[in-house]
Amino acid sequence: MAKIDPETPPPPYYSVAVHTQPPLKPYEEVVYGLGPGVIPPAHPHYIPQYPPPVVAPQVTQSSIPPSKRKRCCQNNAQCYGGWGSALLVLGLLGLAIWLGVRYGTRLATHAIHDEDDDDDDSGRDNDRYENLPLPSFDTCSNNTIQCDAIRDCRLGADEANCVRFGANNGLQVRTSQDGRFLPVCYRGWDQSYANQLCAQLGFRKSYVTKAIQSPESVALTLISRSSSPIQGLVNVSSSCPNQETVSLQCVDCGRQPSTSRIIGGSMAKTGQWPWQLSLHFKGSHVCGGVLISPDFVLTAAHCFPSGNKAALVPDNWKVYGGLLSLNNLPQPYLVKKILVNENYSSKTNDQDVALLVLKSPVVFNDKVQPACLPTYDQRFAHGTHCWTSGFGMTDPGSGTVSRDLMEVTVDIIDSQVCNGRSVYGNAVTKNMICAGDLEGGKDSCQGDSGGPLVCQGDSRWFLAGITSWGAGCGDRNKPGVYTRVSSVLPWIYSSIQQERP
């Protein structure tokens, strides 16, 4: 995470002395240390900081030719560095796989999970890939109707995107009667309905529900009480009594017990970013993550490269929360399942989001709290002051992540500005959001991937973005690019609902 004090100029992270390779053409950057079998994307992103090899350290430099991209590990020989001596044998095979995928179709979804928690998994990572299901590929009947409360698809995809939340946590439900998302009238609503709906969405129970005023002329009224999904318990109505509709919050989120900080980039303090997580692969920090509920963690899809099967095995990962230093780790959370967005493209970094399902629920305290998901229509305007945090590199030339949790304030940058020729030249899609300082100096970096970009709204903090990619770290006209969480909400809610505890 590149940092700068607002009263001093940016540090020379990329001074002439640092660059030992020939000058690069515009929008080119050399990537060092890609392990055999890892498929480098055609578009830049922060390469996760996988651990260096324990044996055969000579494999930290791969025979795979450097990839051209806008942002990766600058002068870092440890990125994806080595997966053990066995990968030497797979080097040529990895190159062949890379060529096939690099010029082939986009990646398939990986939804790999531990089928039997009691198995002895030592030394058997690859065995888990035989006959494992891919839950993201659903099968539906020919007469499938969306949001009719009847499950026509094997995994329930037809009933998974029927609920969303608007301003003031206003509940909106889509039914087969209308096809639109409409508010639900508050009359007849109670805590039992609230708990039932939150459990339907994968959040165990509700946190708070109340009535809010709604000017909508068309709404949904409750017609029955049963165990049916909410879309089967409502009927279209012309209006609500007293224009009162339902506001629902399933998780107490976005609370920041500690609020003192230093503007411009510094070490975080206890409880400042309680949703910040550290994802460890085989004992080493690789990516950041964001806690969004007791059972689910959001992170970046590129933290789980398809070319490395070991990265897709849940037992290889541990998740740590409530920590300020990698030198003082608490008890880890264990991963039950890894879901990578099937629409993620390694070529463009579009929809760079993944979801981890935890084996047991997290107990919230002052150090561990979830961030709030944004509403479907929540916008973070140009110039909004937000924060990003993580254990990523503070010196891009060092090749090592920070041992301490770092934080930095960054401003939202309008996509039109970010897509300008002098910035990213139309590489930023509608599913991405830019944040940083065009003058440089304040940015996320390698090892921050999957971590949070949060913006404050009233008393709560909302997850605006997930750290994804950029060119360099803290460079002028090269701000950080994040997955726009509001754009991937349907996938998030659908995945949580299908994996609900």
- 501 residues of the chain, pLDDT tens digit each: 644 333 333 322 222 222 222 333 333 232 222 233 333 334 454 555 555 444 333 323 322 222 323 333 333 333 333 434 334 434 444 444 444 433 333 333 334 333 334 333 333 333 333 333 334 567 888 788 999 999 889 888 889 899 999 999 999 999 999 899 999 999 999 999 999 999 999 999 999 999 999 887 899 999 988 989 999 999 999 989 999 999 999 999 999 875 544 334 567 777 789 999 999 999 999 999 999 999 999 999 999 998 889 999 999 999 999 999 999 999 999 999 999 999 999 999 999 999 999 999 999 999 999 999 999 999 999 999 999 999 887 666 666 778 889 888 999 999 999 999 999 999 999 999 999 989 877 767 777 899 999 999 888 999 999 999 988 787 889 999 999 999 999 999 999 999 998
Query: d(Cα 293, Cα 406) in Å, to the nearest integer?
Result: 23
Q: Is the dihedral of CA 396, 401, 403, 409 positive or negative?
A: positive
- Other beta carbons less than 10 A from residue 128's beta carbon: 21
**pLDDT for res 69:** 32
3-state secondary structure of 402: coil
Q: Are 209 and 248 in contact (CB under 8 A)?
A: yes
Distance of CA 115 to the CA centre of its chain: 24
Strand partners, 184: 220
State both tokens at 439: 């003058």
Q: Which DSSP state fits 439?
A: T
State both tokens at 69: 């991209």
Topology adopted by domain 274-370+493-499: Thrombin, subunit H (2.40.10)
Q: Is 451 exposed, middle or buried (0-12, 13-18, 19+ CB in 10 A)?
A: buried
Q: Are 474 and 440 in contact (CB under 8 A)?
A: yes
**pLDDT tens track for 267-298:** 777 778 999 999 999 999 999 999 999 999 99
How many residues are present in the chain?
A: 501
**pLDDT for res 144:** 87
Query: d(Cα 33, Cα 73) in Å, to the nearest integer?
Result: 9
Topology adopted by domain 163-249: Mac-2 Binding Protein (3.10.250)
**pLDDT for res 1:** 61
Query: d(Cα 190, Cα 449) in Å, to the nearest integer?
Result: 40
Pairing of strands 333-340, 480-484: unpaired
Judge if 274-370+493-499 and 384-487 fold alike in CATH terms: yes
Q: Which DSSP state fits 501?
A: -
**pLDDT for res 343:** 94
Strands (E), 216-332: 219-222, 234-237, 244-249, 266-267, 276-281, 284-291, 296-299, 317-321
**pLDDT for res 46:** 57
Q: Is the dihedral of CA 397, 400, 403, 409 positive or negative?
A: positive
**pLDDT for res 495:** 95
Instruction: Give the alpha-carbon dihedral of 214, 215, 220, 226, to 10 degrees.
Output: 10
**pLDDT for res 63:** 29
Full-model pTM? 0.75
Task: List the Cα angle 295/290/123 in 5-degree steps.
Answer: 70
Q: How many CA atoms lie within 13 A of 384 on its CB side?
A: 22
State both tokens at 485: 């969480």
Query: d(Cα 439, Cα 445) in Å, to the nearest integer?
Result: 16
Which residue numbers are catalytic? 302, 352, 449
**Nearest Cα residue to 322 out of 393, 375, 370, 252:** 370
**Helix %, strand %, coil % of the chain (to 5):** 15, 25, 60
Distances (CA, A) of 75 to 4, 288, 393, 473: 21, 21, 12, 12
Q: What residue segments make up the domains of the chain, in order of their start?
A: 163-249, 274-370+493-499, 384-487
State both tokens at 452: 């949070």
Query: d(Cα 303, Cα 49) in Å, to the nearest integer?
Result: 9
CATH class entry, domain 384-487: mainly beta
Q: Are 307 and 97 in contact (CB under 8 A)?
A: yes
Strands (E), 134-257: 163-165, 171-174, 181-183, 208-213, 219-222, 234-237, 244-249
